[in-house]
A and B are shown apart, each in its own frame.
Chain A
Amino acid sequence: GNSVTQMEGPVTLSEEAFLTINCTYTATGYPSLFWYVQYPGEGLQLLLKATKADDKGSNKGFEATYRKETTSFHLEKGSVQVSDSAVYFCALSEGTSGSRLTFGEGTQLTVNP
């Protein structure tokens, strides 16, 4: 079956530091990949997506590249802000699984001023 593995958290950074959150996946077909962000007390917001190999998703300074050879979709940002403090979820969706999303465990990011 499908699965998503994220780097263990929590992650604590200083403002303007470089961020990487690792995500690897297992899927039987060719999934679409997503990063969602959950701010404290809120629902999930779609941050970025990639639908095929070598696609790069980007939004709000965050980027992730769909790497089929390493089955990875690592999230990066060059300079984090305090307002980026949230929980980040990597997820995949595959047509053969009825469009359901399979989520990783989530990574708590705290950015200190």
Chain B
Amino acid sequence: SAVISQKPSRDICQRGTSLTIQCQVDSQVTMMFWYRQQPGQSLTLIATANQGSEATYESGFVIDKFPISRPNLTFSTLTVSNMSPEDSSIYLCSARRGGGSYEQYFGPGTRLTVT
């Protein structure tokens, strides 16, 4: 398994501001992902964070709104830009070790409220 930490654990932000969420894995991993979980909903993949190159975004998510960095094999950030109340969600980071195993391990999530 992998131990994943996220910072901050929660935040309350004003409309129009930006928040950067950090994700740290305790060991090197092949792939890292960012998900959004809206209240009472399932998880939706935002993007795959690629080490050393631009993230791969899912349909409906764009780099200008959710810029992602991954400078090395254990760390990634997600920025939620120009926030609106509709961005209020839990944002989760996950990681996959690679090889033939497809399971992902998740961080505790960042609970974001936009007022």
Q: Give chain B's interface residues, CB within 8 Å of chain A.
A: 1, 4, 6, 31, 33, 41-43, 45, 48, 56, 92, 94, 96, 100-109
A-B contact pairs, 12 of them (CB 8 A): A43-B106, A43-B109, A44-B92, A44-B94, A46-B1, A46-B105, A93-B102, A99-B31, A100-B45, A103-B43, A105-B42, A106-B42
Q: Are B42 and A103 in contact (CB under 8 A)?
A: yes
Q: Are B42 and A95 in contact (CB under 8 A)?
A: no
Output the nearest chain B residue to A49 by Cβ-Cβ distance: B103
Q: Are B107 and A34 in contact (CB under 8 A)?
A: no
Q: Are A34 and B43 in contact (CB under 8 A)?
A: no
- Looking at chain B's contact residues, the main secondary structure is strand
Query: A111 at the A/B interface (Cβ < 8 Å)?
Result: no
Chain B residues, Cβ within 8 Å of A24: none
Q: Are B103 and A44 in contact (CB under 8 A)?
A: no
Which of A46, A98, A105 contacts B103, CB < 8 Å? A46
Query: Which of chain A's residues 91-105 have a Cβ closer than 8 Å to chain B?
Result: 93-95, 98-101, 103-105
Chain A residues, Cβ within 8 Å of B4: 43
Query: A89 at the A/B interface (Cβ < 8 Å)?
Result: yes
Query: A69 at the A/B interface (Cβ < 8 Å)?
Result: no
Output the nearest chain B residue to A42 by Cβ-Cβ distance: B108
Assembled-state Cα–Cα distance A104/B42 (Å): 7
Q: Are A95 and B102 in contact (CB under 8 A)?
A: yes
Assembled-state Cα–Cα distance A46/B103 (Å): 8
Q: Are B103 and A43 in contact (CB under 8 A)?
A: no
Chain B residues, Cβ within 8 Å of A49: 103
Query: A81 at the A/B interface (Cβ < 8 Å)?
Result: no
Q: Are A32 and B103 in contact (CB under 8 A)?
A: yes
Known contacts A98-B48, A100-B48, A106-B42; is-contact A32 B102 (Cβ 8 Å): yes
